[in-house]
Amino acid sequence: MSHSLTDLDAAIAEAGLVPGQSPSPVLLPDASTVFAKRAARLREIAPGNGLAEWLSFVAILADAQHTVIGTAAQHQPEHQWLADLRALLAVVVPLVPATVRGVVEALEQSDNAALAECRERIHAGHARRDDLAAAPFLAAAEQVAWTRHAATLDAATTTPSAVSHQCPVCGQPPVAGMIHIGAASAGLRYLHCGTCGCAWHHVRATCVACGDSRELGYQMIEGGDQGIRAECCDHCHSTLKLFLLDKNPGFDPVADDLASIALDILVGEKGYQRIGGNPFLAMAAED
């Protein structure tokens, strides 16, 4: 499917680029729109997806994130997320399914120390099974705190990390890469952070994890979306999901990563390990 110049320019603008100008090494999020657009994208792709119920739930969280991010921050994001979590919980209570309200109420009654400990276990990969119900709410709060912070920075003075697979703002690995479109950025790859919404340029055809360029291959779901593929490195056995905006300018790195989990399963069965992860896909540690 072809797209008009207007469509391409709109996609560039939404990504933080200005058509006709040299691409920036770092793109910062627009805090006023990022979560509203994500909620809309989640609702667009949910019907017919095997994870439709989960995508719809994350859309509710994105709506709440859009509401909360407009409030003023009192602290740096490492601490602000707790206040944002309290605000998110108040907003989502009437919106989430009845089966989830008990989780929300338990989180509202938890003290900050317990919430911080839960967050640390999740980040360290040591999540308990009873942490998993809280995980999406904690992830949503962190996204709000870090995205609000990232949006206040100056892209021109934000230096890309020397470690290519770490976000220059919050230090997290990318949730996915996106191949951009338009006269200024056609074919350029940006890695997108799932926590703060920042994106940073990374040369194509080299592994983001190890830098190898000789043993890269691409995996896709047969008969699936042609704009979604996994870049797989046979040197270090890592993989990174890629979204091609020339196939669909509406791709959202977090939403579409969730919706394409079948591709993760495919490459995982072939022995590849994701470079990063999706904030809404926390897993419990093995017993």
| pLDDT tens per residue across span 212-237 | 989 999 999 999 999 999 999 999 99
Last residue of a domain, one of 107, 132, 151: 151
* pLDDT exceeds 60 at position 1: no
What does the pLDDT look like over 24-81, one tens digit per residue? 889 999 999 999 999 999 999 999 999 999 999 999 999 999 999 999 999 999 999 9
Residue 89 covered by a domain: yes
Which residue range is the domain that position 217 belongs to? 5-28+155-274
* pLDDT exceeds 80 at position 15: no
Last residue of a domain, one of 95, 119, 151: 151
- Would strands 189-193 and 199-201 be described as parallel, antiparallel, or unpaired? antiparallel
Do both 162 and 251 map to the same domain? Answer: yes
Do both 65 and 165 map to the same domain? Answer: no
Query: Which of 263, 202, 186 lies closest to 228, judged by CA?
Result: 263
Do both 189 and 129 map to the same domain? Answer: no
Contact at 8 Å (CB) between 180 and 284? Answer: no
Residue 283 covered by a domain: no
* pLDDT exceeds 80 at position 3: no
Last residue of a domain, one of 104, 135, 151: 151
Residue 279 covered by a domain: no
At 268, which helix (H) or strand (E)?
Answer: helix 261-269
Which residues does 184 contact at the CB level (< 8 Å), separation at least 6? 12, 17, 18, 19, 20, 21, 22, 23
What's the mean per-residue pLDDT of the chain?
90
Do both 39 and 120 map to the same domain? Answer: yes
* pLDDT exceeds 90 at position 249: yes
Residue 188 covered by a domain: yes
Tally of domains within the chain? 2
Residue 239 covered by a domain: yes
Predicted TM-score (pTM) of the model is 0.89
Residue 213 covered by a domain: yes
